[in-house]
Chains A and B, each alone.
Chain A
Amino acid sequence: MEEVKVVSMPRIGDPAPSFEAQTTMGPIKFPDDFKGQWVVLFSHPADFTPVCTTEFIGFAKLNSEFQKRNVQLIGLSIDNIFSHIAWVMNIKEKTGVEIPFPIIADVDGKVAQLFGMFHPGESSTVTVRAVFVIDPNAKIRAIIYYPLSAGRNMKEILRLVDALQTADKYQVATPADWVPEPQTWEFTEENTKVIVPPPTSYEEAVKRLKEGYECVDWYFCKKKLG
């Protein structure tokens, strides 16, 4: 019988694993540096990839809303710090959006391992799209996993934080589709577009820019279906 390798993964209610890491905003020690704050720690597969770029822009646009809720966002991937810096600068240059939160350079994958962000069935080399909501006592309060192909909904993550904080404050539970107040979450024509898989060779990258897609940069092109 084939041996099944069991990897311990943190679960809801567990203390968040401690770690030290290098980020785009300097070194951090978790959870010490975040004492008294909520943290949304999220992993992405790789820098300079289109879905991740849309997610980072999404998080950046909602950063002030997270801040109002005493939440610090922290990104993570196994790319190195220079890649992170180059990507953040590229996003700023191409879209005008500044990334206002730190991104962990988890080159050896130690933090990703601690949090169970590698799912070998999906990819053995990069982290999946994991989200850990961690409360001010460094306890894991919610976990979300998305595959590589589907970008997350940042407003849902914000709604989740609202639900957890409301449950704590008022000792209540929240029903399906609950929101703290009526929302006017806008889904526009832009939300219907899909990502064209990024090129994997220089030749393809050069060609991609001439193919008539809507491109922000060589690695980040969108199209309408149909």
Chain B
Amino acid sequence: MSNGCVSLDGRLSERAIELLKLLKEKGRLKDTEIAEYTQRPLFQVRSSLRELTNAGFLKVEGEHYLLTEKAEEALSKA
């Protein structure tokens, strides 16, 4: 299956960077809150969150998503 957020060589898509920047600004957010901020459909946000979590860019605490060090590093280069 092709990816929506992370390319096969590990590069982040615009959608992924937008999401990571939002989390950097807000600290921690739920999927529904991210959908509201980004005005993207909830299913698409959930799909992106899953992909970014699996790729090590996000961690989950309860219902909230937070950036990992890997994400902070990626954002500093973006």
Contact = CB atoms under 8 A, between A and B. Distances in A.
Interface of A: 20-22, 25-29, 32-35, 37, 72, 81, 102
B38 interface: no
A134 B51 CA distance: 25
Interface of B: 1-5, 15, 41-44, 46-48, 50-51
A32 B54 CA distance: 15
A33 B43 contact: yes
Nearest to B43: A33
Contact of B4 (A20, A26, A37): A26
Contacts of A37: 42-43
Contacts, number: 44
Contacts of B3: 27
B44 A26 contact: yes
A102 B4 CA distance: 13
A25 B42 CA distance: 12
B54 to A, nearest CB: 11
B1 A27 contact: yes
A71 to B, nearest CB: 12
Given A26-B5, A102-B41, 12 more contacts: A22-B2, A26-B15, A27-B2, A27-B47, A28-B43, A32-B50, A33-B46, A33-B50, A37-B43, A72-B41, A72-B43, A102-B43
A21 B2 CA distance: 9
A21 B3 CA distance: 11
B47 to A, nearest CB: 5
A22 B1 contact: yes
A35 B50 CA distance: 14
A155 B48 CA distance: 32
A115 B48 CA distance: 25
